Every structure is written in C-alpha cells, then in structure tokens.
Structure 1
C-alpha cells in the first residue's frame, strides 16, 4: 500500500552526503526527470525501473515543482515494471523450437551450442513480447528538514534497488539505514549519550555491525513494554518533537501478535503468539526459557485517536503501520488537486504523530535502560514475568 493509505509499511533512512549549492528542490526535480520511469508495455523489454510522481504512477515528467514538492517534503515514487515468462512455458516453447530446427536440418543429430543460445533468446523474446509487464510502485517521502526518508517497502531486494537508484540519481548523496542504535542516539538527551556509547556492543561503525551487535535494543525494548503492558499503567508523555504537543499524554501497549525465538539443540525455534492477549502466559513461558521477542504489534492511543504497528525489533522496520482514518470534507466544488494536497498533509500529520509517539516511547525505555540501576530493574521485570 502507498503512503496515502491508512495502513502502510515503511523502512526509514538518513540522507547523508554533500547537497547541491543551489536550490535542493529544483536540483532534485531535474535529477528525478533524468532518471524517470520509461514504460515498456508497448515493447518487449524485460525490465524498466525509474521515478514517477507520487500522485500519478504513469507520469515521470517532474516538470512542475508541485508534482514532487509538498512544503519541506520531497515526494515521489519508485516504479519497477517487469515481464516474466514462466519457466515451464519457456522450456516447452524452446523444446518446440529445437524440434523445428532439427526437422529443417535432417543432417544434424543435435542442435549446435551456439544455435541453442540463439533459439533460447529468440523464444524468450517472442514470449516476452506477448507478456504484459507487472508494475510495482513504492512511495518515497524525504523530509528535507530532518534528512529522514521513508520508503514504503521492507523487502531486502526492493530496498537495495531503491538505494542503488537513489545514489545514481542524486550524485553525492546516499542512504544510511535508520537502525535501532541510530534511532536511540537521536531520541535520547545528550546526558545519556555516554551511557549509550558504553552499551554499544559493535566493534565498528558499520551499519551491519551496529545492527547485529546491538540486538539488545529491540529485545530489551519489547520485553520492557510487555512488562509495562502487564504491570504498569502503560501511560507515557510526549517528549520528542512533532505535531503533537510536548508533555501530552498517551497510552502504549502490546497486543495481538508476538514473534519469539531462541536457540535450541535442534536449531532456532520460532513461536508466534497471535490474537488478543490477557496475561501473555505463553509468551512469558517462552521468555523464561531464554527466548527473546523479535517483533510485536504495538498500540498507541492519544485521546480518541489510535495507531497500530508491527515493530520488527532487529532493524526497527515498521510493518502494517495503521493510522487513524483520514476524514476530508468533499463537495462538488472541491478542486481535485487541492483535495490530493489536503489528503497528503492530513496523512503526513497522522504518520508524523504516530512516529512521534513511537520515539517518545523509545526515549522512555532508554531512560530506564541506560540508568545505573538497570540490572536491578531488569531482574524485577524477570521476576514479574515469571509470575504470570
């Protein structure tokens, strides 16, 4: 689903590198147009990848700034069209092509190697020309004030494809994953940064090392929130900047689904706990045996509004991020373009608020996790969960 849908999955990145000396938006529009998507539905090309407008996946012109700029956001989409010929169909048609070639050349017992390659390419090309490409579209929202970029896919292949095209398009810039350690650095006050650096278990500053060696961030966070859900009020206050007012209260808790895993003699065991939970007894039993929570569904409530997301603890990817439904008043006099802009701004307000709640919750956890008495607090959590 796209960024304007009420439910979306997003991975986030920092945009780093040297920005152009002139106007960023003018430069970005030129670069997007140079790397625009080119349709292949009338030809036989196998693959086409490029940028299109957020509001129109058929249009890659970017001639008007309003087509890709919304206030301080750069908005566009990655489109990938690919033709695929089923392997079984290709094999059958290739076999027929070989039989026809041998029938026309009775002196040959088998098809020469070079001819085989020619036949295979000819058969594949003919089948591709008769096959419609399948489109995939992924939205991109780049906050030029914070340098934070959101991409509406969690797939490894899609993220790699996006990162490569982004680097190719915006010379001098690149994307760095907004992983748990980076997010932790961003949400804590300066006074806690020495404690976070001391807790850092990575031996290098590479993204992969920071993610793999600091799995404790996601695991401890989710266990802490499970304890808050079961044994505390689960009430928190907004401490991070965003649309909502600082100090405003909200509720955060776990429910619906947990994914728990741990090593055993037979390998890694994975347990999925689904459905509304009361005391999370199955999850607590698994945690007592040394397993850890890898992902969970988080709920946020502020006033009458509610958000829900499935947090993947190792990388802090946000799957199934559901915001309050956008309610826009419509009438026959409403201009469609103004309506699309209003939808975008309302949607971004809700998304940003949800992220603000998540970051405030993470900051509350880190305040306890990085405190000198964390070991005693962690022991108390284990005792409480052991009683459930």
Structure 2
C-alpha cells in the first residue's frame, strides 16, 4: 500500500525543516540515506516491525542513489514500514496445540510465564514462514529551497517515525507546520515579531456548542 505524491490519496501533512541544509546536501547525506534504507523483515527476527527509506516511485526499491532521491531542489523519499500481521485466532489455535504438545512431552500440568512467552515467540516465527509482511509506504517531498516538506500521512504515529528517521539521516529537525514555524519561515522584523509574541489563542467555538 502506497500513500503519496505520485499515487493514492492526496491528503498530506506539512512540515518545516529547521536549519539550512548544507550546500552539498547530496554528497553529505547520500551515505546516511543508503544506510537508513528499509531492510526486509525475516521470520527469524524478534522484532515485529521495521521501517526505513525507499524509492518514492517503488516501495520495493531500496537500492537508493542520487538519481532516485534528488530532483533539482527537491528531496523525494518514501518511508516504508514492514510489519508482521499474524491473525489472532490463527496464533491462538497454534499456540494451544503447541502448548498441549509440550505439556504432554514434559509431563507437566502447566507452563510457567517465561516458558509460555518463549513458546509464543517460537510459534510466531513458525507462522511467519507461511506469510509475508504487510508493507506500507508513505511519500516525503522536501523542498530544500523553502524548507517546506509534505508527508502524505496524517497518522501521529507515522509522523514520529519519519521525524526521527529524517533527523538521523539529514541532521536537521523536521517539525509539524504551525503558525509559529510559519512566522519563523517568513523572518518577521522586530516590530512584527513583538506583535506576534503578544498574540493569545482565541477559540471560535461558541460555549455549549452551536445552536
């Protein structure tokens, strides 16, 4: 499933990049982009989810290079999230069978907490070999000239993933667009900034709701 600039829904969230990128952005960041490329989940992994960068054109393409990422003043990447989704009824059924077999084999009446947790992980990994991870990618388009970035998701959880990965990759902070970041981007003069700081939030909702 892909959500983004080239396909899917056109719903996006606006972000602002704090700080100016280096003159040679491609040269200084390409190695870190490649290092942060998404790596596929395998059944033997303990983790249930993994995320990283992918091509904005193809979420399965994680062999990133300059031509796939940098387009004039734009940086275009996909945030790919891979996650194991094992249906709960399937897991419970296999776990019951595995637990019963282990109790019979060891001559026990019940398993301890740790033994049951280890058995659950074993069953999960076994079931994963019969499945493929669910993959979802979300596009990020960053205009390095204006500092504005569009991320084609409104999920707070996914926002945190892309903000953390962006900062590790580019050494710059990606912050949600707000009146404050808009004011900073416009570089208000001292008089306008003083007026801005004196503003107070105002609610436009009527007390008790609309009549």
TM-score (norm 1): 0.48
Tell me which residue corresponds to 2:175.
176
User: What's the CA shift for 1:31?
Assistant: 1.5
5+ residue gaps in structure 2?
none
Q: Name the structure with the higher strand share.
A: 1
Distance 2:164 2:12 in 1: 18
User: What's the CA shift for 1:97?
Assistant: 1.1
5+ residue gaps in structure 1?
202-213, 221-260, 270-285, 290-388
Tell whether the 8 Å contact from 1:35 to 1:169 is kept in structure 2 after alignment: yes
Aligned residues: 206
Distance 2:38 2:139 in 1: 14
**The residue matched to 2:86 in structure 1 has which SS?**
coil
1:184 to 1:167, Cα distance in 2 relative to 1, 3 A: closer
What is the aligned-residue RMSD (CA, Å)? 2.6
Tell me which residue corresponds to 1:31.
32
1:262 to 1:93, Cα distance in 2 relative to 1, 3 A: farther
Distance 2:11 2:25 in 1: 27
Q: Of the two, which has the highest radius of gyration? A: 1
User: What's the CA shift for 1:156?
Assistant: 0.5
User: What's the CA shift for 1:114?
Assistant: 3.4
Write out per-residue CA displacement over residues 331-359 of structure 1, whole angstroms, 9 at most, x where no aligned residue: xxxxxxxxxxxxxxxxxxxxxxxxxxxxx
Where in structure 2 are the equivalents of 1:23-172 lying within 5 Å?
A: 23-40=24-41, 43-45=43-45, 46-63=48-65, 65-106=66-107, 108-170=108-170, 172=171
User: What's the CA shift for 1:39?
Assistant: 2.3
Tell whether the 8 Å contact from 1:25 to 1:74 is kept in structure 2 after alignment: no
Moved more, 50-59 or 151-160: 50-59
1:39 to 1:6, Cα distance in 2 relative to 1, 3 A: closer
**The residue matched to 1:153 in structure 2 has which SS?**
coil
User: What's the CA shift for 1:159?
Assistant: 0.2
